[in-house]
Chain A
Amino acid sequence: MMKIAKEHLPRLFAALAKQIDLLLPAQQAEVVNFAPFCPDAEIDLTTLKTANTPKHFFLPQVEDLYTAAVNAGQISISAADTPIKPFAIFGVRACDAAALDVLDSVYLSDPIDQFYQTRRQAGCIITLACEKPTASCFCTAFGINPTEPCGDITTWLTDDVLYWQPNTEKGDKITELVADLLQLTDESPAQDISENICLPLDKFNPDNLLALFNAPNWQDLSVACIACGACTFVCPTCQCYDITDFDTGTSITRYRCWDSCLYSDFTQMAHGNPRTTQAERFRQRFMHKLVYHPANNDQYGCVGCGRCVAACPAGLNIVKVIKKLEVAGNV
């Protein structure tokens, strides 16, 4: 365990930023987002929920795959070579760090997604323990301890000290970059385990898959859904993407970008659509997070960050689905 006085944090950040691209939670208008370090940025280490999640840096909203030059019907392809420099994100909370595990389980499983892997290898996650949950937090329901976040380095911030604990080799390397600013210590930060939120997650057993899928109240639960993608795009674990083309006038850039299962054209094919109603699309999102993903990965697809709770303009959220979903013979 190492520590640094809170007042020296600006020095720590400046020193880090000199050697690696450093992203920090900073105030941007009315929201806090991870932003590249700059000396006059308004760094915010109290807001738990950045509007953007760390997902942005590993599975960016838009990512070029390759360029196809078409000349007189002849195609030549060159893979995108977006340079990825090593970077570190400071201030990642426990939920968001856990969310990366969810993304890893998809993108680093066979076949591995090289784009994701490259970014994942380049990025160092410096987590920051939470002290107190906000009104929308429910990570503990998913077994996440907000005071013990994982990540390459874990940090705890008290009134006057930041504790620093490297957990991985990558974390060690980053620590070395600023070793002169950190002091070894035997102290350990006080860890208030905030109260555990309990949600009836038992019923989301993959064995119940069809019973859950056929639950009678999906329609009722989804009635207010306006089919925007706010919940999916603020979600640190949502992972669906679209592949599409941009014609630059001289070549075609094929890129992937986030997509949302809540959009009506997500599964639209030339000759039909297996999910024609919003209720079906709504169901897909929650079934995927709570049943399908766990069935394949032994982890829930939700980390309880609560961003979707705040983002939904219609007041819908996963907590309600967890609580209210009526499984025949189960609730």
Chain B
Amino acid sequence: MIPLAPFLVVSAALVAIGVFGALTRRSALGILMSIELIINAAALNLVAFSQHIRTSDAESTAGQMFALFAMAIAAAAAAVGLSIVICIYRNSKTVNVDKIDLMRW
């Protein structure tokens, strides 16, 4: 079976890419997508751990359960995020983060 380490590397890579995306995308949607990536990476990490490490039998499904809930929550968060993006679009006709700086200093 594939050992644990590669999975950790993949999820770490995905997190890094996700953070990079969040920092550099100019469109709010781009940032949303990057954040989805991060959450997926975390879920992957959880599942990888739940399969590979010894846990007490009461918590054997803890990892997968957490991943499942994380997905549900991510979906809800995405919905909320997108509705906010739509609001912003309606008000200031752009989703470009550079231009949304009505409030500063």
Do A and B form a real pair?
no
